[in-house]
Amino acid sequence: AAAKTTTSAPKAVKATSTVDKAQVKAFKEQVEKHLRTTIGTSPEKASKLAWWQALVATVNEDIFGRLTDTQQTHAKNDTRAVHYLSAEFLMGRLTINNLTNLEKFDVAREALKEFGLDINDICEEEPDMALGNGGLGRLAACFMDSLATCNYPCVGYGIHYENGLFRQEIRAGKQVERPDSWREYGCPWEVCRPESVQNIPLGGYVEKQTAPDGSQCSVWHPSSMIKGVPWDIPVVGYRGSSVAILRLWESRSTEQFNWDVFNAGGYVDAQTEKSLAETISKVLYPNDSTEAGKELRLTQQYFFCACSLRDILRRYKRSHHNDFSEFASKIAIQLNDTHPTIAIPELMRLLIDEEGLSYEQAWDITSKSFNYTNHTLLPEALEKWPVYIFEKLLPRHLELIYEINFRFLNGPVEAKWPGNNEMKSKLSIIEEGEVRKVRMANLCVITSEHVNGVAKIHSKLVKEDLFPDYAQLWPNKFCNVTNGVTPRRWILSCNRGLAELYNDVAGKDWPLDLDKCEALKKYADKKEYQDRFMKIKHDNKVALAKTIKELCGVEVDPNALFDVQVKRLHEYKRQHLNLLYIMSLYKSLLEDPDQDIVPQVFIFGAKAAPAYTLAKDIIFAINAVGEKINNDLRIKGKLKVVFIPNYRVSLAEKIIPAADISEQISTAGYEASGTSNMKFSMNGALTLGTMDGANIEIVEQAGIENNFIFGLSVEEVQKLKPRYNPWDYYNADHDLKAVVDWLDSDFFTPGQPGALSSIKSSLLNNGDPFLVLADFASYKAAHQRAQKMFKDKAKWAKAAMINSATMGIFSSDRSIKDYATNIWTLKSQLIKK
């Protein structure tokens, strides 16, 4: 629909007036039917959980028919499909999202209202499906939504973790990790598919055998088998286009239970094998960089990749029998980071050892099927597995990796750099040393047809700094696909006020074409629209203030500036830079409590990896500083600091629409992309950030004048780093020195001097690896600019509207179309009913 050209404010549309009464009645009847016949209770007795389950059962009625239509269309058309392998899918809650995508939310809300229920309240019963750590897992979830919405043939494959990312509690200011058993009472969205169970071999040894024709072959004699049980979660495309499948594998023992041992009285021993096998899908690793559990982690990766590849082969063979000549033209496999790399030698092994193809045939297929996305330059997150673990768990795969490596080094490398052993050892998949290691990223690059980074700057660094020699060999292999987020979840579902405004100015199709939102730009100077936009923001802030009161016990004023930093806690993301600034602001308020500043609320949410001590210390420091500030009457409520516990997708949906400022303050060159930065801008927050990751592209769209950019650039960081001395900055800046020294006192931690000293120590004695002190002054200046602009309501509203209106390119539909066109060569399919 064309955008309106009038200048008067669009009238607020009363959602209830558009809801069809007959649909509400039918929906209500369905919910009641499910309550009675599926859940086994009645409206009089039902708990909120039961109502939620009945609601899901009602939604599922709509979903499964569409799923069958989708699968039949894809099977019939038999075009190329993508198989997205990811160790993480951070799906969050599905109910409101699915209702929204089916365009049934309003109907469901009205139907529940007739039972005297509030839909948002009922949907609070749904546990978050937190099967991921952060950005990487949430990206995979947004991509599934877009794949389904854009009707691309696809399957997402991952692990059915029994426990998702830990639940964070804050006790006495400190993070405490509790298990997150997200499906303790079952998950009504998932369907078990016993007919597609897989058995996965593990361990043992490889025997060399001579074939009758005299050639040598390898036979793997595994020492154990693990059963992979698939659970399917339907992913509903917007307006019910197609329904994609996310298939998650649960590990089980092939022997359910050892009866003989049990009968002989070994009640515990009888369970041993079962528990060992189940351990594989028990937990999501909350940290990519510790030593602990390496063996288990590699087993997890192998387990889900092996199950997925067998599933892919099974489906392929259904229409192509044992002829693999079309495999690569029908199957694209995307490796989401290095976690699923083991799928490469596993496909080689399946094709050679089980399907009887030659090495050359198998390599031809494998190297045309795989693609790899890099999501980080941090060395500790680029996986390397000790060779001895491979020898123990995956001896045949190690043999194949050696073969791939040998052919690579003696083929392309020798041809390009004849006799250059230094180059060979640099590019080798095997890292020599006291402990020899398999470099998974090298295996990905050597095998994959395309290697992409996730934002323009990151892709440039992947090509030029991380893999420069590979780029010399294969310059065209490297490309960029800037990340994106789904506007269905991140505007339409979580910010209904803003969604209505976009309906009015951009027509109702903007969730399918986010560029349409640009229509709002021409109203950015108009007072009525500014007022409406800021009223929506204010309402969201009121709602968040209520949540903060409930979760943190702190009263915050919705008229204050809400400054938000929510993301995993990591030194490179620099939550401690934010904290130092807050301390400096507090200090200046103590010195002059009457100064004319905009009241501010600093909002944090972050989980720290359990073994990352400094990250946990930063959480403690934020809470300690917050406690002091929030209770200090001298500053007259001008400053508040809250740390919202257990940050997760469902909290993000409440926090992001209420933010005025989005803190994206990583050291330039370290945040590959960021995706919350996109969500914040879409919802009208101004970015206070560095020129890093996708911030650069956000500012390109929304204008540098509408955001607060500060700090060293990537080039400046690279130049400064080798000669950086944090003491120079500490000694030269009076204010900075004072706040850093404050950390050493017991001002914020009465009776516990030194409780915050580890942060000071990391900044001074440990060399400040992420240049916090170097960026402090310009960070402070950026805050001062933000303060000034916030006082000018019209200017702020205009900037917020322009940010929101110009985020079209950050729809994950655009990212997925980029992948589909440039990497996967997929065709969108019209789903036949």
Residue 675 is a catalytic residue: yes
Q: Check binding of 673 to ligand 9GP (CB under 6 A).
A: yes
Query: Is 568 noted as a catalytic residue in this protein?
Result: yes
Residues 281/160, Cβ–Cβ less than 8 Å: yes
Q: How far is the CB of 778 from ligand 9GP (least distance, A)?
A: 22
Q: For 103, what's the count of Cα atoms within 13 Å in the CB-facing half-sphere?
A: 12
**Interface with ligand 9GP (CB under 6 A), residue from 483, 565, 683, 829:** 483
Residue 349 is a catalytic residue: no
Q: Is 575 in the site for ligand 9GP (CB under 6 A)?
A: no
Which residue's CB is nearer to ligand 9GP, number 229 or number 569?
Answer: 569
CB of 340 to ligand 9GP, least distance (A): 13
**CB closer to ligand 9GP, 338 vs 762:** 338
Say which of 58, 675, 687, 806 is annotated catalytic: 675
Largest CA distance in the chain: 93
679: annotated active-site residue: yes
Could you give the string, one character per residue 310-349, with x where binding to ligand 9GP holds by CB under 6 A and - elsewhere?
Answer: ---------------------------x------------
Alpha helix ranges (H) inside 115-149: 119-123, 135-149
Bridging pattern class, strands 243-253 and 224-236:
antiparallel
- Name the residue with the smallest CB distance to ligand 9GP: 135
Beta strands in 258-330 (DSSP E): none
- Residue 357's identity, in one-letter code, is L
The rounded distance, in Å, linking the Cα atoms of 773 and 737 is 10
Asked if residue 669 binds ligand 9GP (CB under 6 A), the reply is: no
Tokens of 613: 């001590």
- When the beta carbons of 283 and 642 are compared against ligand 9GP, the nearer one is 283
Phi and psi at 664, nearest 5°, equal: -130, 75
Q: Could you say which of 310, 384, 679, 798 is catalytic?
A: 679
**Residue for token pair 């950050």:** 810
Minimum CB distance to ligand 9GP smaller for 143 or for 742: 143
Output the DSSP codes for 435-451: S-EEEHHHHHHHH-SEE
Closest CA to 381 of 717, 135, 690: 135
- Specify whether 607 is catalytic: no
| Alpha carbons 687 and 677: distance in angstroms, whole number | 7
Q: Are 643 and 619 in contact (CB under 8 A)?
A: yes
DSSP β-bridge partners for residue 205 = 221
User: Looking at residue 466, what DSSP letter applies?
Assistant: I
Task: Compute the least distance from the CB of residue 390 to ligand 9GP, in Å.
Answer: 22
Burial class for 291, CB neighbours closer than 10 Å (0-12, 13-18, 19+): exposed
Q: Which stretch binds ligand 9GP (CB under 6 A): 194-202, 552-560, 594-602, 666-674?
A: 666-674
Residue with tokens 């001579």: 210
Contact with ligand 9GP (CB under 6 A): which of 376, 428, 690, 812?
376
Give Cα separations from 683 to 2, 107, 138, 657 (angstroms): 22, 25, 18, 5
Smallest gap from Cβ 394 to ligand 9GP, in A, equals 23
CA separation for the pair 490, 807 (Å, rounded): 12
Residue pair 498/491 in contact by the 8 Å Cβ criterion: yes
Asked if 821 is an active-site residue, the reply is no
Least CB distance from residue 374 to ligand 9GP, whole Å? Answer: 8
x/- site string to ligand 9GP, residues 135 to 174, per CB under 6 A? Answer: xx--x-----------------------------------
750 Cβ contact list (under 8 Å, min separation 6): none
**Whole-angstrom distance, CA of residue 146 vs CA of residue 735:** 48
Site for ligand 9GP in 618-657 (CB under 6 A): none
- Give whichever of 630 and 666 is closer to ligand 9GP, judged by the CB atom: 666
> Which member of 34, 57, 63, 134 binds ligand 9GP (CB under 6 A)?
134
Q: Which residues bind ligand 9GP (CB under 6 A)?
A: 134-136, 139, 337, 375-376, 381, 454, 483, 671-675, 693
| Catalytic site positions | 375, 567-568, 573, 675, 679
